[in-house]
Structure 1
Amino acid sequence: MANRKFSLILLSHDLSKKVEFTFTRAKAKALLAGLVASFLLFNGVTGFLATRFVGDSDKAQLEAENQALREQLANFDTKIKSVEQKLSTLAETDNMLRLMADLPLLPADVRKVGVGGTVEILPPGPVVPEAQELNDILNKLDREIELQKTSFREIHSKLDQNAKLLEHLPTLRPCDTGYYSSGFGVRRDPFTKKATHHDGLDISAPRGTPVMSTAAGTVIYAGRYYNYGQFIVVDHGGGYQTAYGHLHKILVRKGQKVGKGTVIGQVGSTGRSTAPHLHYEVRVNGVAVNPMDYVFEDTDNFPGFAVETDATESHEHDHSEEVDG
């Protein structure tokens, strides 16, 4: 059995040729071991090369993805800086508007919109520092935007209140034209020549000159009233009233709503008056106050405002030019 041999016979397709190989048992084992070793070596080399190639390909792909992410982060950083600059501009505008609305400025500490606690912002798992930082910045920007929106809503509400208040404050001149002939305060009465207190402002103007309500309100009196002649009183709410005397015509009725600047009558000389003029009063909680304290328009170009004088001062105007309120 030790010298047993193995034969390997190869025949051609048409059986006309034959090749025979004879192997001893030892040679057959050696040949078989060589074939197995060659197969294993081939598979090992092939696998290594394949792994090396795939690994290089994956690495190149990861590098490309990382580069793209870096570029995106740089782009985000640029956009974030732009948003921060716009928010800074909005904060400056906010400060200006709050001053206009008579509101206190937001403190610097409030504008930092700080937060506390240990709330986890990112999902569980490995934390990328750049992603964590980006989330922190975006959340802070979101809080700043919400703060600014809240502030703008407050400003809008306050300005709306101020606009309504201004609409009902007597800040207009009651006549577009005319001559301030007598101011508020102590003066010499044109009839008695004695020192008396004048509760309003006299504006000399041609008969028929339009007279406007100096603020929005409701007419509470429209008719003849003693020395005031044809007389109108408008209630503006909040304790404010205005009165218009010596009118030639009354163009409104009691209970009528009037807007700021609405023509309510015409300049005349009815009642205790020496010439056509308007007697105009502003009353606060029933007390007459100086109307000039409420006229916002520039009065420098409105001629002839009579500065208040003491009763002892001489009156240089001819009596026919004096008017009485």
Structure 2
Amino acid sequence: MIKKWTVILIPHDRGERRSFNMSDVHVWVAAGTLLLLCFTSAVFFQRSRTTAERTRALESDYRALEADLNSPEVNEAFDAKWREREASLRGEFEDRDSALSRELSRVYDLEKEVRIITGLPTQIVEGDDVPLPPADGEGGRLGEFSDGAVFTDNEALLPPHAIYGLAKPSADLMMQEIQLRRGSLENMLQSMEAQRVRIAHTPSIWPTNDVRRRITSRYGRRTDPLTKRLRQHSGVDIRADYGSPIISSAKGTVIFSGYHQYLGHCVKVDHGYGLESWYGHMSKRLVEKGEIVTRGQVVGKVGSSGRSTGPHIHYEIHVNEKTVDPKNYIGH
């Protein structure tokens, strides 16, 4: 059975009295609410005290740390540690800088060796493009010149790189050096390609693979085998068996394939660069005018056509429309 409670409020100044009827449920709800409020207040109060204590402790630590940081001993130790770290980083940078400088110098030396081997000219950096060290430097010779010292007025022998003579070149100079080396290597590659093409077009082998080949009549003044008179021989005569292959001594274009009054069946090849090779006294021609031939390609067969006493190859080399000794264009 639910009990009921009556609460009467009587004012002190003869005002109207008021009464409230409450059951057990209302009483317990009110009591629970009051207890909950008390508990929550106690929790927040305790947390507030804890936070305040921690704040005071942190403020104390901060003041102590600030005092330590402002002390000369701490500042000196910090500065010493910073200088040590700075020196370490500077040392690492200088080591890498020196290593890079050495590698660039090695690249330059290798490039110079390749240019010497291939016969390509040394690259020269013109005037204002070359950065110079400060004008207040000092130097001079030792008591005696060291081994390997070079004395020359030829600018082609001077090292054209930006870091030459600098003990500690800057990063900008090393970047410029890299750009110089890249440009020089690109130029060298182009020059080597042009040289490779020219080599391919330069006569350099025997015009026959006959194992018994040999020169039977040399270039220059000789006794004519038919008239027995002294005459100029414009090429060389090479012994070879009748019908054996005659090969082109370099890459080129056939500019003549026909019958010549003296050379009989003849083929002429233009190799470019002012070079021509002539093959005479053939028994058979195997190429036509305008055809492109490669080094070693068969252009005809050995014969004895034209003004000849027997099977052989009459071989001529023309440089800028003048005959030269073909022996200088035959490999050994």
State the Cα distance separating 1:272 from its structure 2 match: 2.2
Structure 1 match to 2:89: 72
Partner residue in 1 for 2:120:
102
> 1:113–1:144: structure 2 CA closer, same or farther, 3 Å change rule?
farther
The normalised TM-score by structure 2 is 0.62
- The corresponding residue for 1:158 is 191
Q: Distance in 1 between matches of 2:126 and 2:258?
A: 58
Selected match of 2:257 from 205, 222, 232: 222
Q: Distance in 1 between matches of 2:217 and 2:70?
A: 100
Task: Pick the aligned partner of 1:257 from 269, 283, 292.
Answer: 292
Partners of 2:111 and 2:97 in 1: CA distance:
20
Query: Does the C-alpha gap of structure 1 residues 96 and 111 become closer, same or farther in structure 2, counting only changes over 3 Å?
Result: farther
- Separation in structure 1 between the aligned mates of residue 178 and residue 128 of structure 2, nearest angstrom: 13
> What is the aligned partner in structure 2 of residue 50 from structure 1?
65
The more displaced of 76-85 and 161-170 is 161-170
Cα distance in 2 between the residues matched to 1:258 and 1:113: 50
The percentage of aligned residue pairs carrying the same residue is: 29
Return the offset for 1:270. 2.1
TM-superposed CA distance for 1:199, in Å, is 0.7
Any stretches of 5+ residues in structure 2 without a counterpart? 1-58, 135-167
Pairwise CA distance, 1:167 = 2.1
Aligned to 2:107: 90
Shift of 1:77: 1.6
Q: Shift of residue 276 of structure 1?
A: 1.6
Which of residues 233, 237, 240 is equivalent to 2:268?
233
Letter in 1 for 2:220: G
Aligned-residue CA RMSD in angstroms?
A: 3.3
Matches of 2:290 and 2:126 in 1, distance apart? 51
1:140 matches 2:166: no
Name the count of aligned residue pairs.
238
Please report the TM-score for the alignment, with normalisation by the length of structure 1. 0.64
Which of 302, 311, 316 is the matching residue for 1:281?
Answer: 316
**SS at the partner of 1:102?**
coil
Contact 1:98–1:105 at 8 Å: present in 2 too? Answer: no
d(CA) in 2 for partners of 1:92 and 1:269?
A: 55
Mark the CA change 1:288 to 1:50 in structure 2 (over 3 Å): closer, same or farther. Answer: closer
Check whether the contact 1:207–1:266 (CA below 8 A) recurs between aligned residues.
Answer: yes
- The question of 1:170 aligning with 2:203 is answered yes
Alpha-carbon distance in 2 for matches of 1:211, 1:257? 16
CA 1:227–1:61 in structure 2 vs 1: closer, same or farther (change >3 Å)?
Answer: same
Distance 1:215 1:101 in 2: 21
Unaligned residue ranges in structure 1 (runs of 5+)? 1-43, 117-134, 299-325
Distance 1:160 1:46, change over 3 A: closer
Counterpart-to-counterpart distance in 2, 1:280 and 1:229: 13
In 1, the alpha carbon distance for the partners of 2:60 and 2:325 equals: 107
What residue identity is the alignment partner of 1:278?
Answer: I
For residues 259 and 238 of structure 1, the distance between their equivalents in structure 2, rounded to whole angstroms, comes to 16
CA contact (8 A) 2:123 2:184 kept: no
